[in-house]
Structure 1
Amino acid sequence: MIRHTLLAGVTAGAMALSFPLAAQQVPDDLTTMPEVPEGYTPATTPWGDPDFRGIWPLNDVAELPVNRPAQYGDRFWKTPEEIASEQGRVEQLEEAYEAEDEDGTIGLGHWIEYQAGSRRTSMVVSSQDGQLPDFTEEGIHRSSLMRASWVTGQTFDWVTDFDSWDRCITRGFPASMFPFRYNNGIRIFQSPGYVVIALEMLGTRIIPVAGQGEEWPAGVDGYFGNSRGRWVDGNTLEVVTDHIKPGASVLNVATRGVPSGNTIPMSESASVTERFHMVGPDTITYEMHYSDPVVWEDDFTLRYNWSRDDDYEFFEYACHEGNVQVRNYITADRTKREQEYARGAMVDEIDPDAGPPPAMDPASRGTQNRNTQGD
């Protein structure tokens, strides 16, 4: 599932101005971010827990970036005029969908369509500039050693030259809790003592609540980590996760506004605190606080809304089926280097029996743009 397509479409009925104002919570001062409202009391399950069961696809926030684009300055919110200017694009794309339907040529437009029009300018709410903090020196170093199909200029000799997402293992955590361009479905199941979050793309989280979970012993980790949940104020699920297995990028490059390369590192010190606030019958405000002092100069918090859509249907994410791209990348890259050697452009001949060791120091090429996070 390498070199993921980044085209997208927009459904016209999804403009933010059609969202309930309470869900958007747009203040008069667009440079301020209000607190999450706490007044809503959700229904309860038969055993008495707040009832979060349902389907919560992330399509309506697929255009919301993590880092704020410079055009919005220090504003957390777009102006009404900026939202209105998006309507032309929405209508144009809807016409394209109709043409696909009429011609019987349904393709990428429908495959990865999403809803757009959020009034928010970024997911980052922990800083006025709407930007993720900088890496520490150690974070820069660890990023330079990560490898992925998204990294420009690196070579490919073995499966370890690809990240866990390239290899259909996992998007990682907390990356899996943020939108991509397709397969954005999230479904919540509950049973006494547990909340289960089923992800349409690669994975399921099982979260013990009400004291059911125990912290894992030292040396034990997992890509989704060790999560323990508790109910707060009758409308919020708070989940603390540690023991997260390093390796996958903390945030995926295909989530808008994330630094390039899919090479955001994680140390063993990383911890995540999530708060799932039910703020209305069909809205959850998801808030994620991330801490990893080895990699980042400061903690940060991301926040965005989930919208219920129980008519949404999960599509099979058959990432492993026909995933020939890992071999294709290796074969094509070795062939390219053999041709460069034949032309005298390379000093060292390519060993046709080369195994897992990379053919070059991963910090020597393709990392010059990763000394900082980038845009």
Structure 2
Amino acid sequence: MQSRTRPVTVTVIALTCALAVPFTVGAQVERVADPSWSTPRTADGQPDLQGLWGNKTITPTERPDSAEGRAFLTDEEMAAANQRRVQSLQAQDAAPAQRTSAGGQLGAYGSYWLDSGDTVLSTGQTSLIVDPPDGRAPIKSWALEAKAYGLAHEGEDYRYLSTLDRCLSRGVPGSMLPAGYNNTHRIAQTPDHIVLQHEMIHDLRIIPLSDHAHIDARIGLWMGDARAHWEDDVLVVETRNFHNRGWLATSGAGRRLKGIPTSKAMHVVERYERVSESTIMWTVTVEDPNVYTRPWTISIPLTAEPDYVIYEYACHEGNYAIPNILAGARMEEATAAQATAEGPR
């Protein structure tokens, strides 16, 4: 058994078995008893989750090959990873200017507004995914093929472009996953509702604390239909009634998950637990038998950001990005066709 306890008052336990069976790792998050701290409560007695909470991190969504078979980094590895990140950012800032062609890479130009974090998760996880034990999403082959086709043909049709690029929605759980910027979330509570405002796109979820039945199964929504309830001091949010036009992850930070389609069968269960004055443990389990071979789970500590300011979100200046992307692709096709017609020079 490997145990890790950190100042955020979270303990993560990894169970390993290295006998005649394949190496496996299971992970769970447990609250650590702290006699000096008790869960704050609202006027009506609910655990108080209100405030601004951030989740930016350089921990990858899926476990990299370099950490195969390992659920956690050592303290030394965490420090080294954080230092490498700082050095990389410093090198980008110090790089000399260089010219590029239209459509070429701009390097670090404009990267000052990116805010993807410079540290791994305080828990030391090697991936955001904690189940399955290998730290990788169990994606069916057809979904990987559909994702690859869509990403390879983004310029052909607006429907192949990310729903984030189209300024529609990052969906659920995508709206809670770390991205390159806008990684802060506001939680508000009333006696009978939970409100989640996500900085990116300003996706807003107004969730009833109710056991009322979900809407008709024939109705599909970008953010699904959510219901919440309390299990002791843990807020549990269950969401269903999705449609099949969304993506599981829309940001490049999602790596292999970016572009994976959702289906009407997707069922998402989130758990929010205040474990210290400055930390909420957020876990989400995604079940979609059409897309995945089994359910899978992500766990991320959300960190209090009381001084952060969420400004108005403007997705595209003038909302002309998508027409320009498609027009640029048509121009590239015309240029290539002309070159073919003219033949070699």
TM bucket (normalised to shorter chain) is: 0.7 to 0.9
The secondary structure found in structure 2 opposite 1:168 is: coil
Compared CA separation, residues 96 and 46, structure 1 to 2 (3 A)? farther
Check the 8 A contact 1:31/1:77 in 2, yes or no: no
Q: Indicate if the aligned counterparts of 2:158 and 2:322 stay in contact, CA closer than 8 A.
A: yes
> 2:154, 2:161 within 8 Å by CA — same for their partners in 1?
no
SS of alignment partner, residue 343 of structure 1: helix
Structure 1, gaps ≥5 residues long: 1-16, 100-105, 347-375
Counterpart code for 1:74: G
The count of aligned residue pairs is 314
Match of 2:43 in 1: 46
Q: Which runs of 4+ in 1 moved over 6 A?
A: 26-30, 93-99
Cα 1:21/1:335, change in 2 over 3 Å: closer
Over 3 Å counting, the alpha-carbon distance change for 1:63 and 1:141 in structure 2 is: closer
Q: 1:156 to 1:345 in 2, by over 3 A?
A: farther
1:335 aligns with 2:331: yes
**Is the Cα–Cα contact under 8 Å of residues 97 and 110 in structure 1 kept in the other structure?**
no
Amino acid at match of 2:117: Y
How many angstroms does 1:66 deviate by?
Answer: 1.4
SS of equivalent residue, structure 2 residue 285? strand
Residue aligning to 2:182? 183
- What is the letter of the counterpart of residue 51 of structure 2? G
Letter in 2 for 1:44: R
What are the Cα deviations for residues 196-215 of structure 1, in whole angstroms up to 9, with x where unaligned?
A: 0001012011111143x431
2:331 match: secondary structure: helix
Number of the residue aligned with 1:323: 319
| C-alpha contact (below 8 Å) 2:163/2:250 kept by paired residues | no
Which amino acid in 1 is paired with 2:27? M
Partner of 2:227: 228
Q: Residues of 2 paired with 1:97 and 1:26: CA distance?
A: 37
Q: What is the correspondence of 1:49-68 to structure 2 with a 5 Å cutoff? A: 49-59=46-56, 62-68=57-63
TM-score, with structure 2 as normaliser: 0.80
Deviation at 1:95, TM superposition (A): 6.3
Aligned partners of 2:270, 2:290: CA distance in 1, in Å?
20
Q: 1:338: Cα distance to partner?
A: 1.6
Report which of the two has the higher share of strand: 2
Change in CA separation of 1:215 and 1:161 when aligned onto 2, cut-off 3 Å: same
Superposed, 1:144-293 pairs within 5 Å as: 147=150, 151-152=151-152, 154=153, 156-202=155-201, 203-211=203-211, 213-233=212-232, 235-256=233-254, 258-259=255-256, 262-293=258-289
CA distance in 2, matches of 1:217, 1:84: 50
Give the distance between the partners of 2:330 and 2:113, measured in 1 at CA: 36
Segment of structure 1 superposing worse, 327-336 or 49-58: 327-336
Among 74, 81, 86, the residue aligned to 1:86: 81
1:77 corresponding residue in structure 2: 72
The two structures have a TM-score, normalised by structure 1, of 0.74
The answer to whether the 8 A contact 2:288-2:295 is kept is yes
Offset, 1:142: 4.7
| Partner in structure 2 of residue 108 of structure 1 | 111
> What code does the residue aligned with 1:278 have?
R
Assess if the C-alpha contact under 8 Å between 1:275 and 1:288 holds in 2. yes
Higher relative contact order (Cα pairs below 8 Å, separated by 6+ residues): 1
Unpaired stretches in structure 2, ≥5 consecutive residues: 17-23, 95-108
Determine if contact 2:185/2:197 at 8 Å carries over to the other structure: yes
* Structure-1 residue corresponding to 2:129: 124
SS in 1 for 2:324: helix
In angstroms, what is the RMSD of aligned CA positions?
3.2
1:132 Cα offset (Å): 1.0
- Contact 2:238 2:270 (8 Å CA) reproduced: yes
Work out whether 1:20 is the aligned partner of 2:7: yes
Distance 1:198 1:21, change over 3 A: closer
- Asked whether the 8 Å contact 1:285–1:306 carries over to 2, the reply is yes
Relative to 1, partners in 2 of residues 1:140 and 1:158: Cα closer, same or farther, differing over 3 Å?
A: closer
| Identity of matched residues, % | 27
CA contact (8 A) 1:53 1:187 kept: yes
Alpha-carbon spacing, 1:87–1:51, altered in 2? closer, same or farther (3 Å): closer
Cα distance in structure 2, aligned partners of 1:290 and 1:32: 17
* Contact map agreement 2:223 2:242 (CA 8 A) in 1: yes
